[in-house]
Structure 1
Amino acid sequence: MQLLKSETRKSSILPMLAVGTFGLHLFTLMLLMFHGSMLELLNQRLTPRSLVQLVNGNAITVDPKSSVERHPETIRRFVGETMTLMLTWSSKQPQATIWETSSSLLASNFQSKFLSEINNLNFSQKFGNTNRSDQHIFIIQRISQPTPIGEGKWKVEILSNQLIFNNSDNLGRSIPFNKQVLVRAIDESAISLPPTPLPWHLAAYRLGEARLEIYNVCDLENKNCSGNSN
């Protein structure tokens, strides 16, 4: 009889032990979930946010973005303003000076190819030997929305013309410049300001702050336009 009571007592303890063990595991799981939510909240609080001042005077805070992300309008403005700077020349804004100032907005292995592109654009004149009375003005008709082609890389189509005027031809002539422009994000700008910057130095420096560079330019009809600048 004593043995039967002992076995009965043991059998009654086992369910209680099982329930207690299950409750302990459940409590541990809930504690881990609570700690996880607290860590996530702390991470959100510790993640730095940027204060952005808008042109209308308002200020907003924004979440940080990946270093390779760029707003589409930033890309479009970079392409349009870079091309305008590089292809607008005059006696007061010499072609060679503009190239020296702005060529760092291009990838280093693409600069020689684009210089050849400029020479082909003005096939009747060698680089740096434009007539002092010539005025070269770059006019844009349209810039497409950027198309992502890789991480931190985009393709933009630009429809434009370079207008050339001189004293003997007041009506001028127009050279089409309709291209695909490949752009990519970079870590640091290669543009620096000289001790006494001129307006084109300031323009190039401001463009460089977008931390973008042009790494290839192709004809619109080119279906194989890629990062290979050769």
Structure 2
Amino acid sequence: MTKLLQEKKSSVNLLTLFTIFTFSLHFLAAIFLLFEGLRIYGLIHKKPLTFVQLVDGKRVSQIDTLEREPEVIRQFVAKTMAAMFNWSGTLPPASVEDATNPKPDPGIPINTLQNLTKKVSTSSWVGSFALSEDFRQGFLAQIAEMTPPEIFSKNNNQALTGQLVIQRVYPPEKIAPGRWRVGMVANIVQIRRSDNKKLLIPFNKDFFVRSVDSFGHPLSNSLTPLQKAVYSVRAQNLEIYEVSDFCLTNGYDSSPKSQSQRCGDIPNSGSFTR
């Protein structure tokens, strides 16, 4: 009888130890999975490193993905605004045939700030994808208000054309990591086809630009020419997130200043179309 009790007591102790050991293994496995999950989450949200090799063969392990060359930023602002105010009345050429025989631009309807529906040129609509998403609709709405309906007229006696004539684009001024301010002095020139009469509208603005990431379409071969143009705009890895009036009274230096400091007592209309 004593022997049976000792065997029973011994078996209970082994079962308890096995349970504790198994529970400990499961607990350690859960901790390990949690740790690996946090590492994977960090890798997903981490910007990829950019590796380059210099001409002399030296290898640079990483470059700052927020930085952009000043000339790239200047060209980005100039090309974007030129596209926004390209009111030729024809569609952007997608082939050699379109370049020799351009197609009429039907325009793209946009809801204005007054809840009216007006048209912008296709070039303006494509160029607007260089703007941040929260700023794009408001900018397009004011472009629609500025765009004369005669742009889309097939009657040569009424038709107008318009373009942005840039006089100067100032060097980018860095205001934060990956953010710049770029001043532009330009004029919007509208020409009536019937008598070549011109209308000159000053367009002096400050553009606030920031670096962004871009991703190509996985099915690039199936894209339409218009979709390819939009993806080409976003592939520049830059976007304009704000536009304000630019004054020439106090000049333009390299030190960060607010709009009120640069413009002095000149009132700000709060509109980029001033």
The partner residue of 1:140 within 155, 166, 176 is: 166
The answer to whether the 8 Å contact 1:104/1:190 transfers is no
Q: 1:116 to 1:183 in 2, by over 3 A?
A: same
The equivalent of 1:117 in structure 2 is 142
The equivalent of 1:105 in structure 2 is 130
Q: 1:202 to 1:83 in 2, by over 3 A?
A: farther
The superposition leaves residues 101-143 of structure 1 with CA deviations (integer Å, 9 ceiling, x where unpaired) of 2222111111122124324545xx36x9754422111111000
Matched residue type, 1:112:
Q
Q: 1:66 to 1:177 in 2, by over 3 A?
A: same
The answer to whether the 8 Å contact 1:134/1:166 transfers is yes
Q: 1:168 to 1:149 in 2, by over 3 A?
A: same
**More off after superposition, 142-151 vs 204-213:** 204-213
The partner residue of 1:79 within 57, 73, 77 is: 77
Distance 2:245 2:198 in 1: 24
The partner residue of 2:260 within 223, 226, 230 is: 223
Name the larger-Rg structure.
1
Distance 1:59 1:88 in 2: 44
Aligned residues: 172
User: What secondary structure, in the 3-state scheme, does the structure 1 residue paired with 2:134 have?
Assistant: coil
Matched residue type, 1:91:
G
User: What secondary structure, in the 3-state scheme, does the structure 1 residue paired with 2:66 have?
Assistant: coil
Distance 1:99 1:139 in 2: 15
Q: Which runs of 5+ in 1 are unaligned?
A: 1-46, 53-57
Distance 1:209 1:156 in 2: 20
Deviation at 1:151, TM superposition (A): 1.3
Distance 2:224 2:57 in 1: 35
The equivalent of 2:213 in structure 1 is 187
The superposition leaves residues 80-108 of structure 1 with CA deviations (integer Å, 9 ceiling, x where unpaired) of 00100111122213434223322221111
- For normalisation by structure 1, the TM-score amounts to 0.61
Distance 1:145 1:117 in 2: 26
The answer to whether the 8 Å contact 1:180/1:219 transfers is yes
Deviation at 1:172, TM superposition (A): 1.4
User: What secondary structure, in the 3-state scheme, does the structure 1 residue paired with 2:225 have?
Assistant: coil
User: What secondary structure, in the 3-state scheme, does the structure 2 residue paired with 1:113 have?
Assistant: helix
Percent sequence identity over aligned pairs = 30
The equivalent of 1:50 in structure 2 is 52
Q: 1:168 to 1:109 in 2, by over 3 A?
A: same
Q: How does 1:1-230 map to 2 (within 5 A)?
A: 49-50=51-52, 63=60, 64-93=62-91, 94=105, 95-119=120-144, 121-122=146-147, 125=148, 130-132=152-154, 133-188=159-214, 195-197=223-225, 204-221=230-247, 222-223=259-260
Distance 2:129 2:165 in 1: 22
- For normalisation by structure 2, the TM-score amounts to 0.52
Matched residue type, 2:260:
K
